[in-house]
Amino acid sequence: MESQRNILLIALLLVSFLIWQQWQTDKAPQPETAQSTQTSAGEETFIPEADQAGGEIPTGEAPVAASRRLVTISSDSLRLTVDTQGGDIVRAELLEHDRDLNSDEKFVLLSNSPNFVHVAQSGLIGRDGPDGRAEGRPVYQVEQASYQLADGQDSLTVPMTFTNEQGVVFTKTFTLKRNEHVVEVGYRIDNQSAEPVQTQLYGQLKQSENDPDAKGSGMLMAAAYRGPAYSSSDTRYSKYDFKKVREANLNQTTEGGWVSMLQHYFVSAWIPAQDQQNQLYTVALSNQGQAIIGFKAPLVTVAPGSEQSLSARLWLGPKLQDEMAEVAPNLDLTVDYGWLWFIAQPLFKLLQLLQSFAVNWGLAIILTTFVVRGLMYPLTKAQYTSMAKMRMLQPKLVALRERYGDDRQKMSQGMMELYKKEKVNPLGGCLPILVQMPIFIALYWVLMESVELRHAPFFLWINDLSVRDPYFVLPILMGASMFVIQKMSPTTVTDPMQQKVMQFMPIIFTFFFLWFPAGLTLYWLVSNVVTIVQQWFIFRQLEKKGLHGKATS
């Protein structure tokens, strides 16, 4: 087996797969207009139907109250803008994350702009729910237009009240805590009327399917998923993309669970009470190019002269695995490492551990490379030993070809006997690269999905490891290191055309890596440097045993 050629071909197939994956994302068709739930343009909001008979909620035009206004609620982590009509969060800024590198503007997770909508809605529906009234959603009364978490204050609670015609007082509260990305959204129903009050809590996320302001991710950047996802008692984590929403609405009852809208590095998620049966649903608003994913809690009845409290939590923030795991079961799975998650998760834990010592994420990547290559050293040694033995067998293989000519069956039998006699494994040169490829893909997703590396600097000109090297220094060095490895490696390729193709491989890979994240290119460069050192050491040992001749290019 011509090991070196196959190794490079395997690697080339990997990179080609990543290119194809991104092309599929970039060329995906835009959402089609389909028959769906109708809503009016502008300020109207979809309200799900209640679960009891006779409690249908209109989903058409929602009147806009002239008395509505916007209220700002800020903590050290979040700045929320709440619409007093319905109490929806129509804007959320993440104060610990800049919109762009070195930008004065903060990252906006939720917004309600003309071009793009991503809002967190909640309310009370049902026979007596204020959000199910034909005259429109309630306008809550609030004392101030702005609230700020003060120094030394651990939490901030903002109440908003609405009283219906029967005298029932509905108080909606927003609670923000220091150093947290969770918003506690609660309702207190004070029924001072003479009749019982039936109502049902819901929470939903509405988002435009197409984001016209999204920046191009580049030909080789990760095709990061954006869209709905959910968790239930039967499914720990499942994407339910916009296409699925258009084709068939999700309708699932589960104990606990959560619903979310995902995007690169960040997530918004409604987390209802985990000890109750919740209904998870989606709705397509194709006439507006929007989709909704939400939950409905069980129907509750509040007796006359009594109170009832309902609540849900809303995560608004980056994909921080440790924190999300504490907020809700499986919420940390929104950090999606794909089918190689079982490799990616330990790699991320290793990166985290090493970064805690090295401080710098770039140094952590280098140390991780040393660890990975160190663990793979026995395979690397076997690879080059096999390659050297295969090279020594070339004269005997040539003799077999001359003896059997075009008789492939006898040729194959002769080769197998020769390999067995000489104790050579023809696949030995490919095994290490086959092991390394999954590690490469897993680390690719770690670097693309881990928000900790967003805007993380390395040194000098590398001020963001999650994007490409702006001056292409790392890709060029990586290509040079591949060239050195190629010159050092023994090869069995004798065909002049194949030799020329092999010589161009470092150039081809350099071109591909021009657009890879700097962190990934750094890993590959350091891995190549370690390979050069290991290869030099292994070949010296083989020379002493008489197994390694002069390398040819």
Each residue's pLDDT tens digit, 108-126: 999 999 889 999 999 999 9
Place of tokens 């309702």: 187
Tokens encoding 214: 């999204």
* CA dist., res. 397 & res. 392, Å (int): 10
- Residue 368's CB is within 10 A of a number of other CB atoms, namely 23
Whole-number pLDDT of residue 546:
66
Confidence of residue 87 (pLDDT cuts 50, 70, 90): very high
pLDDT of residue 179: 95
Residues 6+ apart with CB under 8 A from 535: 380, 384, 485, 488, 489
- How many residues in total does the chain contain? 553
Q: How confident is the model over 365-379, as pLDDT tens digits?
A: 999 999 988 988 888
Query: Which is nearest to 90 in space by CA: 10, 32, 174, 212?
Result: 174
Residue 95 structure tokens? 């104060």
| Calpha distance 109→268 (Å, rounded) | 8
What one-letter code names the amino acid at 116?
F
pLDDT, mean over the chain: 83
Span of 206-220, 360-374, 526-540 with lowest mean pLDDT: 206-220
Residue 4 has pLDDT above 90, yes or no: no
- pLDDT at site 541: 80
Residue 8: burial class (beta carbons within 10 Å; 0-12, 13-18, 19+): buried
Looking at residue 385, its pLDDT comes to 76
Q: For residues 317 and 301, give the distance between their C-alpha atoms in angstroms, rounded to a whole number.
A: 34
Render pLDDT for 335-389 as a digit per residue (tens, 0 to 9): 988 888 899 999 999 999 999 988 899 999 999 999 988 988 888 887 777 777 7
CA-based nearest residue to 300, from 138, 49, 129: 129
Chain centre to alpha carbon of residue 337: 7
Residue 102 pLDDT:
85
Check whether 274 has a pLDDT greater than 90: yes
pLDDT tens-digit map of 95-112:
999 998 888 899 999 999
Say how far apart CA 7 and CA 96 lie, in whole Å.
43
- The alpha carbon of 3 is separated from its chain's Cα centroid by a whole number of angstroms, namely 35
Phi, psi of 507 (to 5 degrees): -70, -45
**Mean pLDDT, rounded, for 236-247:** 94
Averaged over 460-475, what is the pLDDT? 92
Strand-pair partners of 10: none
| Tokens 């989606």, residue located | 282
Q: Judge whether residue 31 has pLDDT over 50.
A: no
Beta bridge partners of 204: 121, 294
Helix (H) and strand (E) counts in the chain: 12, 19
Confidence of residue 492 (pLDDT cuts 50, 70, 90): low
Rounded to whole angstroms, how far apart are CA atoms 426 and 385? 11
Task: Give the CA count within 13 Å in the CB-facing half-sphere of 119.
Answer: 21
Angle, alpha carbons 1-343-381 (nearest 5°): 35
Question: Quick one: which of 261, 265, 444 has its CA closest to 338?
Answer: 444
Most confident of 394-408, 483-497, 508-522: 508-522
Q: Which amino acid is at 430?
A: C
For residue 29, the model assigns a pLDDT of 41
**φ/ψ bin of 225: left (φ > 0), alpha (ψ from -120 to 50), beta (otherwise):** beta
Torsion of Cα atoms, 317 then 323 then 328 then 334, to 10°:
60
Q: Can you give the pLDDT at residue 423?
A: 72
Q: Rounded to an integer, what distance in angstroms lies between the CA atom of residue 482 and that of residue 475?
A: 10
State the DSSP H helix or E strand holding residue 73, giving kind and residue range, or none if neither.
strand 70-74
Q: Is the pTM of this model over 0.85?
A: no
pLDDT-derived band of residue 539, with 50, 70 and 90 as boundaries? confident
**Spatial CA neighbour of 187 closest among 129, 254, 145, 110:** 129
What is the share, in percent, of the chain residues with pLDDT greater than 90? 54
Q: How far apart are CA 145 and CA 22, in angstroms?
A: 45
Looking at domain 65-212+222-336, its CATH class is mainly beta
Strand partners, 94: 78, 107
Task: Judge whether 313 and 297 are in contact, CB under 8 Å.
Answer: no
Q: What is the largest CA-CA distance in the chain?
A: 103
Give me 282's structure tokens.
């989606």
Please say if the pLDDT value at position 148 is more than 70.
yes
Per-residue pLDDT for 227 more than 80?
A: yes
**DSSP-assigned letter for residue 63:** P
Query: Six-digit token pair at 456?
Result: 């993380």
The bridge status of strand 146-148 relative to strand 70-74 is parallel
In the chain, CATH 2.70.98.90 covers 65-212+222-336
Residues 6+ apart with CB under 8 A from 252: 230, 232, 234, 279, 280, 281
